[in-house]
Each structure stands twice: as structure tokens, then as C-alpha cells.
């Protein structure tokens, strides 16, 4: 033990220098490595954005391409606008289309009413339609599927079902249908 103490005293400065060197290297690596990783990640993102920018600049320089893109975007906007209801179309859906869908599924309509339209957070409009029907389970599923596969954006918002009879199964259904508009 005395020899170990003596050895340590003689070589203490070398041990401290070695420990200082190790700690210094550790600190250097721990501070540089995250920056290198971040640099590598960001440089990859910059290269992707650079490629996208060069491609966009190439397209913008070509006036014909610009005109074609303008026409394509206008057509796309018009197609998207056609998927939404106007107020007249929502009334037409309630008065004409829904009865046709119900009749094709052998669903009896008890009542239907047009509720007050609601403004949505995204700037759209919801035209809710309350409907009360009597149907079997299969007929109900057929009419719901036909409602949700309609060419315009319409969803069943609320559905309440109660059983009227067991044999044959007859259900009393109250639902709120939402026709979406701009």
C-alpha cells in the first residue's frame, strides 16, 4: 500500500494529465457529434429542397407549362367545387334525391325536415337534414350506403335506432344527414 501511494505521488501529474485528456476528448466528441448529425440531416433536407426548387424553376420558365398548370389547377378546383352542395342542391337532395334513395331501398319515410345551416370552422357550410324512417336492417344499411356514396359530400351525422317488431324485424330510425357546402 505504501508502494502504491509512493507510485501515485511520483506519477500523479501524468494520471491527472491523462484523465484531463480523456475528459477533454469526451466533451469535444459529445459537443461536436450532435452538431455533425444535425448538419448531415439538414444538408440532406437542403438537397431535397434544392432539387424541388430547380424543378419548379424549370417549369416556371416554360410559359406553356405554366399555362397548362394554370388550366389544370382551375379544372381541379372546379371538380372539387362540384363535390359540394349549394343551398338549393341541399333542398333538392332532401325533397327529391333522398326519397328516391329510400324508395329504391324499400324504406318508408315518416318525416324529413331541413334544419338551419351551420357554418364550419374551415369556412364551409353544413346543411343538416333530419329524417325519420321505418325499415329493416338490410334496407337501412342499403339506404345509408347509398347516401354516403352519393356524388356530392354527404354524411350520416347522427343515427338513433329503436326496434319496432322482431318478426319481421322493423326498425324506427332517426338520423341527421349532413350535406356539405362551400
pLDDT tens track for 18-76 = 888 888 888 777 776 666 666 677 777 778 888 888 877 776 667 667 788 888 888 88
Report cis status (omega within 30 of 0) of the bond before 168. yes
**Percent share of the chain, pLDDT over 70:** 91
Please check the confidence at residue 166 and state whether its pLDDT lies above 80: yes
DSSP string, 88-128: HHHHHIIIIIHHHHHHHTTPEEEEEEEPPPEE-TTS-EEEE
pTM above 0.75, yes or no: no
Q: What is the pLDDT of residues 117-158, one digit of tens each?
A: 888 888 888 889 899 999 988 888 889 888 888 888 888 888
What are the phi and psi torsion angles at 56 (to 5°)?
-65, -40
Amino acid at each position: 500500500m505504501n508502494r502504491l501511494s509512493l507510485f501515485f505521488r511520483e506519477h500523479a501529474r501524468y494520471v491527472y494529465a491523462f484523465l484531463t485528456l480523456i475528459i477533454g476528448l469526451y466533451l469535444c466528441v459529445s459537443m461536436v457529434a450532435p452538431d455533425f448529425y444535425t448538419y448531415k440531416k439538414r444538408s440532406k433536407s437542403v438537397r431535397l429542397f434544392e432539387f424541388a426548387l430547380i424543378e419548379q424553376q424549370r417549369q416556371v420558365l416554360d410559359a406553356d407549362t405554366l399555362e397548362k398548370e394554370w388550366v389544370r389547377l382551375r379544372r381541379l378546383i372546379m371538380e372539387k367545387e362540384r363535390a359540394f352542395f349549394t343551398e338549393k342542391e341541399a333542398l333538392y337532395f332532401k325533397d327529391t334525391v333522398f326519397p328516391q334513395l329510400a324508395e329504391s331501398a324499400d324504406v318508408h319515410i315518416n318525416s324529413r325536415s331541413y334544419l338551419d345551416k351551420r357554418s364550419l370552422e374551415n369556412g364551409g357550410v353544413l346543411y343538416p337534414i333530419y329524417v325519420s324512417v321505418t325499415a329493416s336492417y338490410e334496407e337501412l344499411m342499403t339506404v345509408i350506403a347509398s347516401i354516403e356514396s352519393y356524388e356530392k359530400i354527404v354524411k350520416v351525422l347522427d343515427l338513433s335506432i329503436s326496434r319496432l317488431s322482431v318478426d319481421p324485424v322493423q326498425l324506427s330510425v332517426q338520423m341527421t344527414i349532413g350535406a356539405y357546402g362551400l
